[in-house]
Amino acid sequence: MLQPSYIVITTPAIDKMRAGKRGALIVFEGCDRSGKTTQSSRLVELLKANGIPVLPMNFPDRSSSIGKDINSYLTNSKDLPDEVIHLMFSANRWELVNQMKNKLLEGTTLIVDRYSYSGVAYSAAKGLNFDWCYAPERGLIKPDAVFYLKASADDLTNRGKYGEERYEKVEFQRRVGEVFDRICSKEASYWHQFNASQPADNLHSQIVTITEELLPKVATQPLDKLS
Ligand code: NYM
Ligand code: MG
């Protein structure tokens, strides 16, 4: 059982138990300001405190050269055709696929803030074809679980003032949410939907419950690819 982050459990014993076991790929998805960053960081801290090797990641990774161009696009200092930025977001994931694979196989759990589904949701919300958007994601590592933080339409309106980045407009976010809903029903076997409007502590404990069941279950399963 995972202990609250203030109780630290031994690591050598856990390391021994873990030999030959892989880490889990856990992805957080949802609209902007749905609480992904808060919840994913809390999960990372909890796993760390329990001696479980874990690495936080987030997409887009703005540090690579493609990531820097994506950042210029998001901060409106650069314009690009919708198709081009879409493929750049995907390439930004492909740049890291080998590192992710190695980490998982050496037993590290990856907690990822946004992944392929954000790629599809934001581009499809602009009107690009859904299947076209999904195509470049095929072959990337398939998450073991996606935690979808679903914000209600009311919430998106009440949270009101978004930041200055591209896409941060209530009406656009509503459309993004519709695409996430569609993906969530298609991929129901490994997507877990949470009400993002509930208190952060409740949400955290629901996420912990699922993670607790997930880690031992996937540890001996081979990695799968998005297809
Ligand atoms: N975004 C993110 C996409 O449009 N496609 C993608 O593939 C990914 C990973 O980038 N508004 C968008 C969603 C966000 C923006 O992400 C920046 P964040 O998590 O707000 O920094
Ligand atoms: Mg954002």
In a domain, 54, yes or no: yes
User: pLDDT value at position 16?
Assistant: 52
Whether 32 lines ligand 1, by a CB cut-off of 6 Å, is: yes
In a domain, 76, yes or no: yes
In a domain, 164, yes or no: yes
Q: Which residues are within 5 Å of ligand 2 (an ion), measured at CB?
A: 32
In a domain, 120, yes or no: yes
User: pLDDT value at position 20?
Assistant: 75
In a domain, 117, yes or no: yes
User: pLDDT value at position 9?
Assistant: 53
Whether 59 lines ligand 1, by a CB cut-off of 6 Å, is: yes
Chunk the chain into consecutive blocks of 10 residues (it has 227) and report each block's average pLDDT, rounded to whole numbers.
66 57 98 96 98 98 98 97 98 98 98 98 98 98 98 77 88 96 98 97 98 97 98
CATH number (domain holding residue 111): 3.40.50.300
CA dihedral of residues 136, 145, 23, 59 (deg, nearest 10): 50
In a domain, 191, yes or no: yes
Closest to 112 in 3D by CA, of 43, 186, 62: 43
Structural domain of 82: 21-215
Ligand 1 pocket test target in 41, 87, 114, 164 with most atoms within 8 Å of CB: 114
In a domain, 222, yes or no: no
In a domain, 209, yes or no: yes
The answer to whether 121 and 40 are in contact (CB under 8 A) is: no
Total tally of structural domains belonging to the chain: 1
